[in-house]
Amino acid sequence: MKKLAVLVSGGGSNLQSIIDETKNGILKDIAEVVIVISNNPSAYGLTRAEKANIKAVALDYKNMDGKDYDAKMYNLIKESEADLICLAGYLKKIPEKIVNEYKSRILNIHPALLPKFGGKGMYGHFVHEAVVKAKEKKSGATVHFADENYDTGSIIIQKEVPVYEKDSADDVAKRVLVVEHEIFPKAIKKVIENLE
């Protein structure tokens, strides 16, 4: 059974899909979420964790020294004995120490088909707005290994969705989110199987 540390900044719907799959889906008997950490004390993802009886920790990024924040996060992940770190809508850069120690064991979900529409500032709604503005015919979601830069690590899994001419950013976001919930647990399973 592999232990997962999940990092969230907001609603945590991807966290929920991971929790659901560990209980009754493709991750059952191979993975469990042992800790959820957020840089945002009011993130609903923390409530989701608590409802599932998972340790939930808020590190208030805005009111902490950067080095202190990084050290606390590192210690929490170490203490949880996590095998994998899953970034489920986590919007901060991962501390270098964690990136180095957990090489090829940090997974991030991105709401576009990387390498397109990735990088600093490209998250959430900004991604879908950029996709619509660029008149793309398709978008989708990508799970990739996180490294020291935003959205540059090698891709584990991608899935496309169509983008229609009359789509708003919201329309694209809804379609992409469905795919995110589907592929994140699949990517975790794939990585776990490669760790064995």
Model confidence pLDDT, tens digit, residues 12-58:
999 999 999 999 999 999 999 999 999 999 999 999 999 999 999 99
- Identify the CATH number of the domain in which residue 142 sits: 3.40.50.170
Domain of residue 103: give its range. Answer: 2-195
* pLDDT tier, 195 (very low <50, low <70, confident <90, very high otherwise): confident
Judged on CB neighbours under 10 Å (0-12, 13-18, 19+), 139 is: buried
Residue 113 has pLDDT above 80, yes or no: yes
Closest Cα partner for 33 from 141, 20, 42, 178?
20
Q: Is the distance from CB of 151 to CB of 118 less than 8 angstroms?
A: yes
Supply the pLDDT for residue 149. Answer: 86
- Sequence-distant (6+) residues with CB within 8 A of 60 are 39, 40, 41
Domain count, the chain: 1
Angstrom distances, CA of residue 54 to CA of 46, 98, 129: 9, 21, 34
Name the token pair of 81: 């004995």
Residue 93 has pLDDT above 90, yes or no: no
Q: Is the distance from CB of 174 to CB of 141 less than 8 angstroms?
A: no
* pLDDT tier, 148 (very low <50, low <70, confident <90, very high otherwise): confident
The mean per-residue pLDDT over the stretch 103-113 comes to 96
pTM above 0.85, yes or no: yes
Q: Tell me what the pLDDT averaged over the chain comes to.
A: 95
Active site residue ranges: 110
